[in-house]
Amino acid sequence: SQQGEEDPQALSIQEGENATMNCSYKTSINNLQWYRQNSGRGLVHLILIRSNEREKHSGRLRVTLDTSKKSSSLLITASRAADTASYFCASGGSNYKLTFGKGTLLTVNP
Amino acid sequence: NAGVTQTPKFQVLKTGQSMTLQCAQDMNHEYMSWYRQDPGMGLRLIHYSVGAGITDQGEVPNGYNVSRSTTEDFPLRLLSAAPSQTSVYFCASRTHRGTLDEQYFGPGTRLTVT
């Protein structure tokens, strides 16, 4: 079964606004990753946060991780039309497998 | 580097036909994997490999075979295609066996089984 679940399933905002997506997972992890997928393309890695980290930044991206609640959030600040894509969280445990959620479709309107 | 390449980009099969989806990477990555992506289902792991000669099953392995004779190549074989295998297939690779590493994805193969 899918381990990661993103919320909301779809999000529509105006350019310049911030977008927040949430992810929940079920079992213990050693890291959580976020990926972006533009329509009809492969996934592209955005950011990885380790289980002993609480927050990480990369450009306009901010990721938080709360292992007590088994949840993570991805914040995109000052969104642009080019940020329109699906965003997936992926949880990594002690085995070799990354488990992906079902994704959040973000639409940024110009 | 070309990264992760997949062929073909599109394929239509009739029920019962077999075919091989090709995946290659030129980054000397140890770990390779195959996912399928269906609407509303996210990505589900089919098979993975932690090195040449080593493969294992993922979440949805039935109807698929893999082999890893070289570090670079990781083909996915559909033995007898079924309409339920209509999907978009992604190959991915990463440097290390463990998950503390980003995965690189290929562009995908869109497969339709009629």
Q: Is the pLDDT of residue A1 over 60?
A: no
**Strand partners of residue B89:** B36, B109
Which candidate from B40, B50, B102 shows the least CB-CB separation from A96? B50
Q: Cα distance from A96 to chain B (closest Cα, Å)?
A: 5
Residues A33, B17: Cα–Cα separation, whole Å: 37
pLDDT of residue A3: 55
Which stretches of chain B score pLDDT less than 70? Answer: none
Which candidate from A4, A45, A97 shows the least CB-CB separation from B102? A45
B109: nearest Cα among B1, B12, B2: B12
A100: nearest Cα among B41, B30, B111: B41
- The answer to whether A51 faces chain B, any CB pair under 8 Å, is no
**DSSP one-letter string for A19-76:** EEEEEE-SS--SEEEEEEE-TTS-EEEEEEEETT-SEEEETTEEEEEETTTTEEEEEE
Q: b/e for A25-40, b at 16 or more Cβ within 10 A?
A: beeebebbbbbbbeee
For residue A45, name the pLDDT band (cuts at 50, 70, 90). Answer: very high
pLDDT of residue B99: 79
- What would the pLDDT profile of B34-45 be if each residue is shown by its tens digit? 999 998 778 999
The number of C-alpha atoms within 13 Å of B23 and in the hemisphere containing its C-beta is 32
- DSSP SS3 for B15: coil
Residues B33, B103: Cα–Cα separation, whole Å: 10
A63 touches A56 (CB < 8 A): yes
> Residue range A1-21: average pLDDT?
85
The nearest alpha carbon in chain B to A30 belongs to B100
Residues A47, A33: Cα–Cα separation, whole Å: 6
Residues A42, A35: Cα–Cα separation, whole Å: 10
Q: Cα distance from A55 to chain B (closest Cα, Å)?
A: 16
- DSSP SS3 for A16: coil
Give the number of A-B residue pairs with CB atoms closer than 8 Å.
Answer: 66
Is A42's CB within 8 Å of B106's CB?
Answer: yes
Is B99's CB within 8 Å of A92's CB?
Answer: yes
- The answer to whether A48 faces chain B, any CB pair under 8 Å, is yes
Q: Cα distance from B22 to chain A (closest Cα, Å)?
A: 15
Q: Is the pLDDT of residue A4 over 80?
A: no
- The answer to whether B3 faces chain A, any CB pair under 8 Å, is no
Eight-class DSSP state of B72: S
Q: What does the mean pLDDT of chain A come to?
A: 93
> Residue range A54-81: average pLDDT?
97
Question: Dihedral angle at the C-alpha atoms of B19, B54, A91, A106, nearest 10 degrees?
Answer: -30
Q: Is the peptide bond before B8 cis (omega within 30 degrees of 0)?
A: yes
For residue A96, name the pLDDT band (cuts at 50, 70, 90). Answer: confident
